[in-house]
A and B are shown apart, each in its own frame.
Chain A
Amino acid sequence: GEDVEQSLFLSVREGDSSVINCTYTDSSSTYLYWYKQEPGAGLQLLTYIFSNMDMKQDQRLTVLLNKKDKHLSLRIADTQTGDSAIYFCAERASGAGSYQLTFGKGTKLSVIP
């Protein structure tokens, strides 16, 4: 079955880099996503990567995908206090037109000023 695992907490100092890790189990996943959720809010799409890519960079965000180990990471460079939030990793099921995502429980990122 599908399962997505993330560590629950991460604490970093302002200006440092944050690395949030995720493992998934469905080898047929098509896309993998990172979403950000602030208190009382919905999910904000940060970035996503197609399963045949190894890396994707978007400004301060770098996503690395190790398909062999089913490991996904999100690196946030120069972490700011506004980055404090819960970050969710999600995998998308294979199948044409499917938008069924399986989410991890989220990693709470705390940025210390």
Chain B
Amino acid sequence: DAGVTQSPTHLIKTRGQQVTLRCSPKSGHDTVSWYQQALGQGPQFIFQYYEEEERQRGNFPDRFSGHQFPNYSSELNVNALLLGDSALYLCASSHQQSSGKLFFGSGTQLSVL
């Protein structure tokens, strides 16, 4: 049983570009959340998707958007990249009816030059 998988593992972009990160949830999970982890910090919540809709959103600008597909996989899009967007982006999956377990993928390391 595969866990949460993310792609790509590493990515280098330049300021102003756009990026798309991908996530496949753990088998049986229907809810996907995205987090940003800057160097030396704890992860910060970006948003959560369930039933293909954004259900909750953290304190991130509209440049950050997402999508969830019918197979529960998800994408995170960031437009007009800034140097400060350089971070590890983590995807987490869970089941709406679960007892609270939330599993994370290994992340995508984004570097903006």
Contact = CB atoms under 8 A, between A and B. Distances in A.
Interface of A: 4, 30-31, 33, 35, 41-45, 48, 50, 88, 90, 92, 95, 97-106
B42 interface: yes
Contacts of A97: 31, 50, 55, 96
A106 B38 CA distance: 12
Given A42-B105, A42-B107, A105-B41, A98 B48 contact: yes
Interface of B: 4, 6, 31, 33, 35, 40-45, 48, 50, 55-56, 58, 90, 92, 94, 96, 99-107
Given A99-B33, A101-B35, A102-B45, 17 more contacts: A4-B42, A30-B100, A31-B100, A33-B102, A42-B90, A42-B104, A42-B105, A43-B92, A43-B104, A88-B43, A92-B100, A97-B55, A98-B48, A99-B92, A100-B56, A101-B45, A105-B42
